[in-house]
Amino acid sequence: MARILVTGGAGYIGSNTVYLLRRHGHEVTVVDDLSRGHEHNIAGGSFHRLNLADTGGLERVLREGRFDGVIHFAAYIAVGESTQKPELYFANNVGGSISLFTAMQRAGVSKLVFSSTAAVYGTPERVPITEDFPFAPVSPYGESKVMVERILGWLDLYRGLRSVSLRYFNACGAVPGSGLGEEHDPETHLIPLVLRAIKTGKPITVFGDDYETHDGTCIRDYIHVGDLAEAHILAIEALLKGAPTDQFNCGTGRGRTVMEVIRAAEEVTGRKVPYVVGERRAGDPPVLVANSDKLRQRLGWKPQYCEISEIAATAWEFERAREPVPAA
């Protein structure tokens, strides 16, 4: 059993990680300012409503809880918004992280798991992507995560802060029975939008069907949120056993097109997805697929869900419970 502080524990991936950490017997405290997360997502443990800019408040929480480690999710995540409000993204994602690391240093907490992203790679020249691919972000959001990863390199060297950065590919799905699921506002992610299109009958727009892929739509590596949450637990447990600072891709290693996701949603719901084909979305790389060998080999990670239809089925279970589904 370890005592873990989770920042951003009211968000999508954070809340699932809290839920599973507690199932593994760890003691969890959540810090979240609820600016983007939801209080109903806080899956037990104690909770402090705090913004990361409050270094003193964080230091107090860290000292009082005598934490073994921190899992740091709290950040803004909308790529499009980051191009309109870059200052906000750098202040919140980079400034907030520096404030947290300062509080950790003062409180003597030296193990950290950090939410990073495949967006640090931008538009890679080839796939699958291994962790040694160069940083080449194409948005302020991606750059904010690169900056924090770089800062963590220096803090390892000069502060003894040991960290694992997990570079997420496309998190999706829901952990059955958890009551937790994807509820971004506004929602921009493919799977919840596809399922909502089924519920409302309002078509989703497929962003481009003229890419050089087998059906012309973009390829992504969809990872189930429960499998992703387990990667965090393995990472913090490894750090607590003395593992060094490192970075890992989090994906299944399998790519799926937008049309394959739509077909999978049709298969699991037994209903048609209304869609229209629109323009490409600016900044969308055609193909993003992880090589996840490092995560599997070094941390012993094994995904429970590899099929997109299985993942979509868990997301559907959450979506259909959320609001009434109109008759077919």
Which residues form the catalytic set? 141
Q: How far is CA 233 from the centre of its chain?
A: 14
Cα distances (Å, whole numbers) of residue 266 to 114, 195, 209: 35, 9, 19
Q: Smallest distance, Å, CB 126 to ligand UDP?
A: 18
Nearer to ligand UDP, 195 or 204 (CB): 204
Nearer to ligand UDP, 131 or 182 (CB): 182
Cα distances (Å, whole numbers) of residue 157 to 145, 160, 161, 162, 245: 19, 6, 8, 9, 10
Q: Smallest distance, Å, CB 195 to ligand UDP?
A: 12
> Among 143, 163, 305, which Cα is nearest to 236's?
163
Q: Is residue 275 within 8 Å of 197, Cβ to Cβ? A: yes
> Among 89, 67, 63, 72, which Cα is nearest to 31's?
72
| Contact set with ligand UDP (CB under 6 A) | 170, 188-190, 193, 204-207, 218, 220, 258, 281, 284
Q: Smallest distance, Å, CB 234 to ligand UDP?
A: 23
Residue 21 DSSP SS3: helix
Cα of first residue to Cα of last residue in the chain, in angstroms, is 48
Q: How far is CA 277 from the centre of its chain?
A: 27
Q: Smallest distance, Å, CB 117 to ligand UDP?
A: 8
- For 232, list phi and psi in degrees, rounded to 5: -65, -40
Residue with smallest beta-carbon separation from ligand UDP: 218
Which residues, listed in sequence order, are joined to residue 219 by a DSSP beta bridge? 257, 287
Nearer to ligand UDP, 258 or 289 (CB): 258
Nearer to ligand UDP, 191 or 299 (CB): 191
| DSSP assignments along 238-268, one per residue | HHHTTPPPEEEEES-S--EEHHHHHHHHHHH
